[in-house]
Amino acid sequence: MDLTTLTLTQLRQALRSGATTSVAATQAVLDHIVARDNDIQSFLTITDEMALEQAQQADQRRANGEDSPLLGIPVAVKDIICTQGVETTAGSKILEGFVPPYDAFVVRQLKAAGAVILGKTNTDEFAMGSSTENSAFFTTRNPYDQTRVAGGSSGGSAAAVATGMAYGALGTDTGGSVRQPASFCGVVGLRPTYGRMSRWGVVAFASTLDQVGTFGRTVADCTAVFQAAAGYDPMDSTSLNVPVPDFEAALTGDIRGLRVGVPQEYFIEGIDKEVETAVRNAIAKLAELGAEIVEISLPHTAYALPVYYLIAPAEASANLARYDGIRFGPRVEGADMIDSVKKTRALFGPEVKRRIMLGTYALSAGYYEAYYGRALKARTLIKQDFLNAFEKVDVIATPTSPTTAFKIGAIVDDPLQMYLQDIFTLPVNLSASCGLSVPCGFDSQSLPIGLQLIGNTLQEAVILNVAFAFEQNRD
């Protein structure tokens, strides 16, 4: 039995029945990483010894009659999420060598559920990007075509899950950074409602948009990781103190009578025809399964991109002010204190500097109202679009990305072109919605296409179940 081809839920079954052990599965995955990751480049750090130790403990616990939702299951963590005693770089030279003194809350949750942590996956620097080309270390390759990107910023996690180098993974999604790489790599990626996941211990990019998300090869796998990681954390005052439903039990596959909205603004010029066809076919499949399809409008969709690219850089410029080389990270010594700070901050990569500059400008005296202030007001209109839509429908179906995976290097020098990659995903982050991407076919070059399902505030169970129903009946 090749253990790396099992899904997370199949492995869980095999561990529970005694058909295999966590040590066997962990060793199989670690061997697979050695064989495969030279090509794919999804891991920045592999914590093999620690993983095998955790696997042994998991097997011991099981032998003692214990069980927990992820007991002994190997998973990967995006390298923007702090792991105690394991280097956490956020894909940046400015955090190279940084070893966090604590685990992020979501990592604690996974460990408490019994998960084995395999290592840290590649990301665009500070999660700023859509291709991992902005990682200070290397670019993750698409498992379906290694000349193409895996997507980003959580491209390392998506590619690792797609290739059997992890049974599930954590990512973060500030503008689409879980859903877009999931779409490009043919896996399931969930971006929960803001506040469903704790951000404590997650390196901050844009604090009102950042949210931890989960990956799986199947909807059930993605749900299992989500179930374990979600929850209220008093250390993050924006995390929501609300009950966490049994998401796994909500995967019934029954979507009869559910109203699925199709927003006209997401089927626009510029979208790849093959993507449009696959997504429209997927929506027809939902109708076949008993859902009611409703044409809707999200009239301010076109403004989401300019709003996002003012708000996210503004928040980033404030968050990234902490990288001054004083308390952690490398320090580049200059003539005086200010000079040292400036020289240390020159370690940021080009995209991070660009966004810090943009945000600093948008917040600066004389321009605040014209840029940041207007963006906050326009955000109200975008949020309202969704609230209006969810009075008529239960879920919204769109493409995840306007294209399939693009070539490495194709648009890396054109920031605006790169930003347009997120045009269908970032409205979710600006609003109080949740969203996921589920594979819905391939284009003529055999590259995966993703269907995005958007749900109302805290309605993850609804979109996960629609994705599950679709997955079970996919052609």
Q: Does 337 bind another protein (CB under 8 A)?
A: yes
Encoded one letter per residue, x for contact with another protein by CB under 8 A and - for no contact, window 101-140 reads: xx--------------------------------------
Using CB under 8 A as the binding rule, the residues of this chain from 148 to 207 that contact another protein are 193-195
CB atoms within 10 A of CB 333: 10
Using CB under 8 A as the binding rule, the residues of this chain from 426 to 445 that contact another protein are 429-432
Q: Which residues contact 53 (CB under 8 A, 6 or more apart)?
A: none
Q: From the candidates 22, 157, 177, 317, give the one annotated as an active-site residue.
A: 177
Contact residue for another protein among 105, 303, 468, 470 (CB under 8 A): 303
Q: Are 290 and 257 in contact (CB under 8 A)?
A: yes
Shortest CB 151 distance to another protein, Å: 22
Shortest CB 432 distance to another protein, Å: 4
User: Is residue 78 among the annotated active site residues?
Assistant: yes
Nearer to another protein, 350 or 409 (CB): 350
- Of 73, 68, 66, 75, the closest CA to residue 20 belongs to 73
User: Is residue 207 among the annotated active site residues?
Assistant: no
452: exposed, middle or buried (Cβ count in 10 Å: 0-12, 13-18, 19+): buried
Using CB under 8 A as the binding rule, the residues of this chain from 399 to 418 that contact another protein are 415-416
Nearer to another protein, 328 or 442 (CB): 328
Q: Does 387 bind another protein (CB under 8 A)?
A: no
Nearer to another protein, 94 or 188 (CB): 94
Shortest CB 108 distance to another protein, Å: 15
Q: Does 232 bind another protein (CB under 8 A)?
A: no
Rounded to whole angstroms, how far apart are CA atoms 34 and 37? Answer: 6
Using CB under 8 A as the binding rule, the residues of this chain from 366 to 385 that contact another protein are 371, 373-381, 383
Encoded one letter per residue, x for contact with another protein by CB under 8 A and - for no contact, window 60-99 reads: -------------------------------------xxx
Indicate the DSSP class of residue 204.
P
Q: From the candidates 22, 42, 153, 183, give the one annotated as an active-site residue.
A: 153
Q: Which residues contact 332 (CB under 8 A, 6 or more apart)?
A: 325, 340, 343, 344, 346, 347
Quote the distance between the C-alpha of residue 174 and its chain's center.
8
Rounded to whole angstroms, how far apart are CA atoms 335 and 64? Answer: 61
- Of 415, 437, 441, the closest CA to residue 428 belongs to 437
- Number of helical H runs and strand E runs in the chain: 15, 13
Q: Which residues contact 61 (CB under 8 A, 6 or more apart)?
A: 68, 71, 114
Shortest CB 124 distance to another protein, Å: 17
Site size for another protein (CB under 8 A): 71
Q: Are 136 and 91 in contact (CB under 8 A)?
A: yes
CB atoms within 10 A of CB 90: 32
Strands 74-78 vs 116-121: parallel, antiparallel or unpaired: parallel
Shortest CB 234 distance to another protein, Å: 6
User: Is residue 153 among the annotated active site residues?
Assistant: yes
Contact residue for another protein among 147, 252, 364, 472 (CB under 8 A): 364
Residues belonging to the active site? 78, 153, 177
